[in-house]
A = this chain, B = another copy of it.
Amino acid sequence: MENAGYERDARSTVVRLKERGQYDYATIHRLIDTTAVLHVSFPPSGDDPFPAILPMLGCTGVFDPDGKKPEPHAAAPGSFPEDEDEEDYSTGPRCIYLHGHAASRLFKAPLPDRLPVCVAATTMQGVVLALTPFHNSCNYASAVVHGYASVVTNEAERMYALTRITDNLVAHRWDNSRNPPTKAEMTTTGVLRIDIVSASAKVRVGGPGDDRHDMKNESVINNVWTGVVPTYTVYGEPIPSDYNRVGKVPSYMKHWIERENMRSKEEALSAVAKDKK
């Protein structure tokens, strides 16, 4: 199952530099869940010729209406296994859940039953510098998903999505916050589900590549630094609010910050070491 993934179609197949294309569930879902901000594109509406992009928070999920209360990233408040396994992203296709304020344009204007959208999750992992600017590049991983968006109305599915989005932002946060939500909170929050039609990822790794004539040119090769400047996201020291009364940063948060910082630095560094794609 490990390499099972989305079927390629004309829309999703990476044509140029096709060795960078990846279609397996694990790569695509993991990218969506580890990218802080998703970019969601909507088709032009009415007379306006322009597509629109909204930066949104969200994550992947599979809601089981008959299942027991789903606890995707959750654990008992204040306790969690030290060597928590990463979620298995390879088990099958998923949806994407996004949320927003119910008063935002998106939820106010009634969506058509199936609104075609595109979601991009991009992680920049390094600046790749070659002898000539024309071979400069970036190490990056980007998932692009096409699918139909609809507003979720089933209360159990809405709860599932909101729990997951919260825990995807900060692991274990839901159970360590005030819950359950009030009726007003549920009413003012809109949840969007995107049913995926096609999906692919593009991943660039490795160092720079240069043309032979530049590599043989002594004045060029002896003077132009080539290599990769790794790039990663860092979560810094938490800064308490002016009404915070919890003296110490809780251990689930420390653990999450540590793990995320290690993960994104590791990914940037290991991308450099891989063979160029």
Contacts and interface: CB of A to CB of B under 8 A. Distances in A.
A224 interface: yes
A122 B120 CA distance: 12
**How many copies of this kind of chain does the complex include?**
2
Interface stretch (A61-69, A87-95, A132-140): A132-140
A79 interface: no
A152 interface: no
Contacts of A176: 223-225
Interface string A148-181: 0000000000000010001001100110111101
Nearest to A261: B234
Interface residues of A, number: 98
Contacts of A179: 132-133
A127 interface: yes
Contacts of A74: none
Contacts of A221: 243, 245
Contacts of A51: 41-43, 51, 116-118
B237 A230 contact: yes
A55 B120 contact: yes
Contacts of A138: 36-37, 57
Contact of A177 (B57, B133, B238, B245): B133
Given A178-B224, A224-B176, A55 B230 contact: no
A220 B178 contact: yes
Contact of A16 (B15, B103, B116, B235): B103
15 contacts: A11-B50, A16-B101, A36-B124, A36-B138, A39-B53, A43-B49, A43-B50, A52-B146, A132-B185, A134-B188, A136-B173, A176-B225, A225-B240, A225-B253, A227-B239
